[in-house]
């Protein structure tokens, strides 16, 4: 897959370009369906399967406060889009100048003149251009005038729901509620955070007998506080683990941490990058009467996680 992160690097229109456009936060099953539609359409006309996304997320530029946390950081989003089988991903740097493009300028100057779009694949609620003035109706109208096809894809219904559709908003709600199994069904994979292992308070191994890898979240969505069965990816290998998110109430220091005990693992990974996949929430964070009681509970958590992760 070719990644283009500067529109000036597009020297000439792509061959029979079939394109979908969106933020694609989460790259969930609904997004994946759009990509598959693009790929199939491109194959049918000997064309190029393209997805256009934006960095940073437009809402972070247009609304300085109150923007939602990301389900997928840009790096992970691009990896997932590549794994979908697209030929090209265009990661447009989203700025206020770019946001000022009218809907017609976006279509005429970017999609047609620069990219050479022959087919545009979008969802039913797709909007674009300055003040979100561009609609599917406008896109279809300009398609007739400028000789490109518009494919409006159906929403993908949520599992076991006739009215609810898969959406990034719903996935955020599930992750924040600790409902990792339901989130997995919409994502098509387990929810993941990633980051560099930092030195924590150094009491997991010394006091509890369970050393942990601490991760400092960047800008991504944090699951609900509690203890989780998890898998950990490091250096191309996947390990089983138990993750804890919260404030360690037994120690009363009120510091928020995201930490994971990697089972059957004793490598020094400070400063290394790991990925943590949340499989199932085991329990709430609890304040224990002693360190010994907490340690006994962690033993139970580890056994419980092994049982879940062995399936």
pLDDT tens for the chain, 311 residues: list them: 999 999 999 999 999 999 999 999 999 999 999 999 999 999 999 999 999 999 998 988 888 776 789 999 999 999 999 999 999 999 999 999 999 999 999 999 999 999 999 999 999 989 999 999 999 999 999 999 999 999 999 888 887 655 578 999 999 999 999 999 999 999 999 999 999 999 866 554 445 568 899 998 888 899 999 999 999 999 999 999 999 999 877 776 778 999 999 999 988 899 999 999 999 999 999 888 888 888 899 999 999 999 999 97
Q: Please, are residues 119 and 149 in contact by the beta-carbon 8 Å criterion?
A: yes
The overall pTM is greater than 0.95: no
Question: What is the number of other CB atoms lying within 10 angstroms of the CB of residue 65?
Answer: 4
The tokens describing 51, both together, are 């997805």
Q: Classify domain 190-309 at the CATH topology level.
A: Elongation Factor Tu (Ef-tu); domain 3 (2.40.30)
Please report the pLDDT score of residue 205 as a whole number.
Answer: 46
Residue 66: its pLDDT value, please? 67
Q: Would you tell me how many other CB atoms lie within 10 Å of the CB of residue 155?
A: 14
Nearest-angstrom CA–CA distance, 100 and 133: 11
CA distance 259 to 246: 9
CA 213 – CA 260 distance, rounded (Å): 5
pLDDT given for residue 112 in this prediction: 97
The angle subtended at Cα 83 by Cα 27 and Cα 245, nearest 5°, is: 50
Pick the CATH number of 2-153 from 3.40.50.620, 3.30.1200.10, 3.20.20.370, 2.40.10.10: 3.40.50.620
What are the tokens at 149?
């096809």
Contact yes or no for 280/241 (Cβ under 8 A): no
Same fold, 2-153 and 190-309: no
CA–CA dist 205, 229 (Å, integer): 19
Domain-wise residue ranges, the chain: 2-153, 190-309
- The encoded tokens of residue 214 equal 């601490």
């Amino acid at each position: 897959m070719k990644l283009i992160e500067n529109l000036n690097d597009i020297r000439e229109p792509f061959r029979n370009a079939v394109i979908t456009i969106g933020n694609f936060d989460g790259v969930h099953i609904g997004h994946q369906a759009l990509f598959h539609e693009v790929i199939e359409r491109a194959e049918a006309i000997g064309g190029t399967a393209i997805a256009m996304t934006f960095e940073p997320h437009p809402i972070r530029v247009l609304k300085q406060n109150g923007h939602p946390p990301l389900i997928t950081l840009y790096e992970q989003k691009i990896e997932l889009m590549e794994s979908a089988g697209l030929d090209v991903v265009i990661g447009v740097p989203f700025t206020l100048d770019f946001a000022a493009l009218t809907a017609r300028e976006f279509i005429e100057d970017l999609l047609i003149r620069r990219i050479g779009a022959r087919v545009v694949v979008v969802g039913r609620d797709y909007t674009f251009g300055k003040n979100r003035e561009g609609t599917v109706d406008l896109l279809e109208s300009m398609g007739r005038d400028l000789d490109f096809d518009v494919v409006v894809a159906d929403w993908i219904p949520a599992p076991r729901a006739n009215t609810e559709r898969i959406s990034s908003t719903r996935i955020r709600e599930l992750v924040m509620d600790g409902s990792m199994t339901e989130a997995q069904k919409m994502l098509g994979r387990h929810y993941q955070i990633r980051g560099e292992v930092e030195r924590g308070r150094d009491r997991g191994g010394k006091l509890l007998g369970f050393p942990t890898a601490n991760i400092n979240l960047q800008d991504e969505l944090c699951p609900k506080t509690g203890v989780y069965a998890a898998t950990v990816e490091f250096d191309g290998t996947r390990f089983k683990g138990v993750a804890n998110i919260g404030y360690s109430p037994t120690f009363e220091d009120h510091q928020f941490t995201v930490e994971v005990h990697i089972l059957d693992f004793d490598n020094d990974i400070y400063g290394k990058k790991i990925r943590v996949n949340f499989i199932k929430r085991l329990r709430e964070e609890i304040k224990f009467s002693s360190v010994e009681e907490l340690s006994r509970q962690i033993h139970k958590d580890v056994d419980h996680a092994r049982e879940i992760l062995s399936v």
